[in-house]
Chains A and B, each alone.
Chain A
Amino acid sequence: MDGVNSTIISTRLRLARNIDGLPFPHKLAEIPARQITDQVERALSPVDKFTRYDVSDISRLDGTILQEKHLISPDLLQDSPFGAALISADENVSIMVNEEDHIREQVILSGLSLDQAYDRVNRIDDVLSKNLNFAYDRRFGYLTSCTTNLGTGMRASVMMFLPALTIENMIDACITDVGRLNMTVRGVYGEGSKADGYLYQVSNQRTLGLKESDILDSVKSAINHIVDAELRARQLLKRDEAELKDKIYRAWGIVTNAYKLSTGEAMQYLAMIRLGGYYGYFDISDLDKLQRLLSECQPASMQKLGGNSMSVDERDVLRAKYVAATLGAICAKKDK
């Protein structure tokens, strides 16, 4: 596992767009809001096959699962009564409608794929722009409901796995460094603690006064900086290798033998096993599958897997079995 693969999980490219002449979603009535979803759905039909999920129709469980997979935002479910999502069959494209803006075009790809993700979202944007009249101003660019997205409407985000910077208490300094490059860093599930799997989202702050290619370049620079810092921290972490190995093997022991496993425990131990893969303590045959396991471990996804209403204890028992079985198929411990 090389340095980049061991620190970068996925890339997300998002473009915010609005329809000219209509109030933004927080001021928009139900009928025009639903009409926008219909228009977007029709406009997308030549691109791919998309499944439509209307917030008003989707069950709470299914909505939460989409959120756990990072295909929709919590705001869409909680604050957008006329919101909807159109999701491609491969789940690489998710178009949110009537969230903060009328349209949020998103492409999510695994690994560091900023250029590929931008190419794909840009092609979708061109198709939509042929059929929909986007709100655009020569001075301000694409008009958005919040001025923080004005201009390109583009947010390029990279999800990173940063255990060593977190454990070595170097993450705050790193966040300050990339802040100077106009990047923001935040925890994916929370504040990036061990119970959150040491996952962080790095994204551009500025959307105006820069070309899309400039934004991509600045995110790449920030990512390179963070990858270097994380790899240096991983060397530091290895200064007491016996201690490190013990922690990682204990994580393996628990996760493959536990009868019950909470979401937080699963996140923490799977993160240690991923780190163990970097140090060569495990052979991991499918890193994407290991990453998917993190969202599959979340409460709503586990509830869905169980097929019926389960108590927290029952869910924890199912999670322990599921994680052990999945890990058994993709991960093998090397000899000590």
Chain B
Amino acid sequence: MKCTKCGIREAKMEIHVRNNNHVEKMYLCADCAKDYKPEVNLESFDMLNKLINGSPMGLLSNLNNMFAEPSTRALICPTCKTTSEEFMKTGFVGCPRCYEVFEPLIVQTVKKLQQSDRHVGKTPLGVLDTASEEARLKSELQAAIDNGDYSKIGELGERLKKLVGNKREGN
């Protein structure tokens, strides 16, 4: 296969760069790959596997199999330029956006570290606590049903449906 960038030389590696929800797949020759920082090459994947096995945190070893999947290879955060390699080596991400970019890796890591990948604690002021809101709407809906307030039943039903739908999307 020819390099997708220069179209001349043979592609030697595949890289995936995630931008928002879009993943761009590129097949690059060794020369064109040098334009991407940090340099990504096939050896670096082997090195990364070694890093995972020998992680100082001792908790990332189960990522071997996942890392073999192309979609998680050589991700770079477009905001802070942190690479998946850097994250795997240190356990640190560079900015809030990294959590979107490295989500599959992070989910695997935190499941192992924290025995969960879902927050159930406090929400910042101004952020809707969906569980409390759902309970409140359900109780208002029940009251509307008891009172036979049909216009309110419809309105509350719609709001509840929307909230539950959003929650599923969020999941």
Contacts and interface: CB of A to CB of B under 8 A. Distances in A.
Interface string A199-226: 0000000111111100000000000000
B106 interface: yes
A20 B117 CA distance: 20
Indicate the member of A151, A182, A211, A212 with the most B CB atoms within 10 Å: A151
Contacts of B80: 23-24, 27
Q: Which bracket fits the contact residues of A? A: 35 or more
A106 B119 CA distance: 21
Nearest to A211: B121
Interface stretch (B13-21, B28-36, B122-130, B134-142): B122-130
Contacts of B106: 140, 147
A208 B119 contact: yes
Given A130-B125, A136-B123, A209-B120, A151 B114 contact: yes
Interface residues of B, number: 31
A148 B90 CA distance: 11
Contacts of B113: 147-148
B124 A136 contact: yes
A145 B93 contact: yes
A303 interface: no
B123 A23 contact: no
A135 interface: yes
Interface string A139-166: 1111101111011101000000000000
A26 interface: yes
Nearest to A122: B122
Interface in B26-85: 79-80, 82
B148 interface: no
Contacts of B116: 151, 206, 208-210
Given A126-B125, A137-B99, A146 B117 contact: no
A122 B124 CA distance: 11
Contact of B121 (A22, A129, A141): A141
Interface of B: 79-80, 82, 91-96, 99, 106, 109-110, 113-127, 130, 170-171
Interface of A: 18, 20-24, 26-27, 122, 125-126, 129-130, 134-143, 145-148, 150-152, 154, 182, 206-212
